[in-house]
Amino acid sequence: MCGERDIVRTNSKRKTSSILFNASIYVSLEDFSWLSHGSSHRVFNVDDFGAKGDGTDDRKAFKKTWKKACSSEGGVFLVPNNRTYHLRPMNFTGPCKSSQLTLKIAGTIKASSHRKDYIKDRWHWLVFVSVENMNVEGGGTFDGKGKIWWENSCKVNKSLPCVRAPHAVTFFDCKNLIVSNLRFKDAQKFHLFFDACVNVKVENLLVTAPSNSPNTDGIHMQGTQNIQLRNCVIKTGDDCISIINGTTNVRATDITCGPGHGISIGSLGPNNTEAQVSNVMVDRVTISGTTNGVRIKSWQGGSGYGENIVFQNIAMHNVTNPIIIDQYYCDQKDPCPEQYSAVQISNVVYNNITGSSFSKMAIKFNCSRTFECQGISMRNVNLVREGDGVVEASCHNVGLTVKGLVSPSCS
């Protein structure tokens, strides 16, 4: 249901204008007037439905509470403060009767650390399905207890077989969604996954996992339209934010990222699939100690496009690969065969990006020989080497426009 779906279509070169698009992308979100703090609410406390908070599985009580809150107008699903509850994998399924549903997570929800509990669904721990007009808030914590999954990952121990780990919290097919003022920690895989959602606001989140925890992306989105991320601190073992196929109208502002793998668009086009990502604005971001800064990555053999993308007002501190477009991405043991087709990358702006690079190669555009990157613009970019040394730029098969000071520059 909520997996990384593949769409296979015939590739064709996408015609793009050589004129750069307006860098001030406006990400329109529908009216959130449904969020009325003045309306009356009925509060449903999980403790009143039998939740124990004693280390045993509280799914039965959570299911009862959800049923009542979902079927009541103005329902509030309450996980009380100073309480910790354990849950095995479960779904919270809509549609709901309420025109304004609130999940107030004030306490802590912990995942089962027994991998056998995920046999029926290796993809997910908690999933919210087809819910509209929902506000998830409360200052509490979702704890994925991911250590057992990391220790058994083939990326950590290469002698082990590769086994799928579940995403911590997934929102699938949800509309008019706010997720705010929460903590997410130690996910089994992705911490937050927005899949096929429309009109999403995410703000004031703290997302953390050890820097060596594999695949623990902070906020991941696929097939999602109109999503705004604001004022989030993300420190994980993988991408702070990752954006893949079918996602459009994204605005991420006031983000603190690192450690981790930076902010990524992609990977796009794996297994010869089509990708469509457009209208992405990343603005006012601090990236520190990450293995990448702002990255666009795609596989050979893919099709479709990644276009109208702005990275601006970004401070880098000791970042490896601060700016990178890689159309030859290959995350597998065997070398990837050379293929003609590629995802077209076009109309990308890098504006007002400063800071330090841990690596000598601070800027790398490794674009396809057959579908070169088009309409790439750099304005006021100044990257220096962390400590002593020089930095370089490598630019292959890229249509590049430079304005203002850009250092290092392509030869």
Catalytic residues: 238, 261
Q: Three-state DSSP class for 39?
A: coil
Q: Given CA atoms 365, 370, 373, 375 in this order, what sign does their dihedral have?
A: positive
Q: Three-state DSSP class for 33?
A: coil
CA gyration radius, the chain: 22
Cα angle 22, 197, 234 (rounded to 5 degrees) comes to 75
Residue carrying the six token digits 């630019």: 395
> Which whole-number Å values give the CA distances from 294 to 58, 338, 411, in the listed order?
41, 25, 21
Q: What are phi and psi of 203, to 5 degrees?
A: -150, 150
Please report, as a single letter, which amino acid is at residue 210. Answer: P
Among candidate residues 373, 369, 376, the one with its CA nearest the CA of residue 348? 376
Among candidate residues 281, 285, 311, the one with its CA nearest the CA of residue 231? 285
Longest CA–CA span in the chain (Å) reads 68
Among candidate residues 143, 124, 81, 131, the one with its CA nearest the CA of residue 101? 131
Please report, as a single letter, which amino acid is at residue 280. Answer: V
Cβ neighbours, 10 Å, residue 368: 23
| CA–CA distance, 133 with 165 (Å, rounded to integer) | 29
